[in-house]
Amino acid sequence: MITVVRSKDGTIKTFSPRPFDGYNLALGEYVELVDTTFEEFAQRFVVSCMGLSGETVSVKQGSPDLTVNISAPGMSTVDVDINGSVETLSPIDGGFQVVLSTDVPGVFIIQPADRKKYCAAGQGLLVIEVNP
């Protein structure tokens, strides 16, 4: 059993393997108990690139295109938010992928589009910096 803290709009703010005894909820936030393990809940949506997940990935401008892998077990499609633009992905070889160009410097923020279903924290969020 895990504890999920949701914002007043229902998006997942955080989750924990322990009860939130004494946790100060902000106005409108609420706690939900979910019958699963912390590991199972955390693995429902995982974003990775170059073998890295849950951290910032830095590459040089002009590097080879980057393949971002998204794991969302049991899903036939998944909606991914990349810098505020939502892309619906279909599975490729048992997972989901999106290819990003490194031609232009900048930052890619990749997270689940459905924040009520998936948490955009830990391995559910990936930042990629393309540096000049």
Please state the pTM of the whole predicted model: 0.90
**Beta-bridge mates of residue 84:** none
Residues 69 and 120 in one domain: yes
Residues 29 and 64 in one domain: no
The answer on pLDDT for 72 being more than 70 is yes
Residues 96 and 115 in one domain: yes
Residues 98 and 54 in one domain: yes
Q: Which domain holds residue 62?
A: 44-131
**Beta-bridge mates of residue 78:** 89
DSSP percent split of the chain into helix, strand, coil, nearest 5: 5, 45, 50
Q: Is residue 13 part of a domain?
A: yes
pLDDT band at 94, cuts 50/70/90? confident
CATH number, domain containing residue 99: 2.60.40.10
Question: What value does the mean pLDDT take over residues 87-92?
Answer: 95
Taking a C-beta distance cutoff of 8 angstroms, is the pair 114, 88 a contact?
A: no
Backbone phi, then psi, for 10, in 5-degree steps? 95, -5
Residues 49 and 85 in one domain: yes
Q: Which residues of 85-119 are buried (b: 16+ CB within 10 A; e: fewer)?
A: eeeebeeeeeebebebebeeeeebebbbbbbebbb
Say what percent of the chain tops pLDDT 90.
Answer: 87
SS3 94: coil
Which amino acid appears at position 27 of this protein? L
pLDDT at 22: 67
**Beta-bridge mates of residue 57:** 128
Q: How far is CA 36 from the centre of its chain?
A: 18
Number of structural domains found in the chain: 2
Residues 49 and 14 in one domain: no
Residues 121 and 62 in one domain: yes
Query: At a CB cut-off of 8 Å and minimum separation 6, what does 106 contact?
Result: 129, 130
pLDDT band at 24, cuts 50/70/90? confident
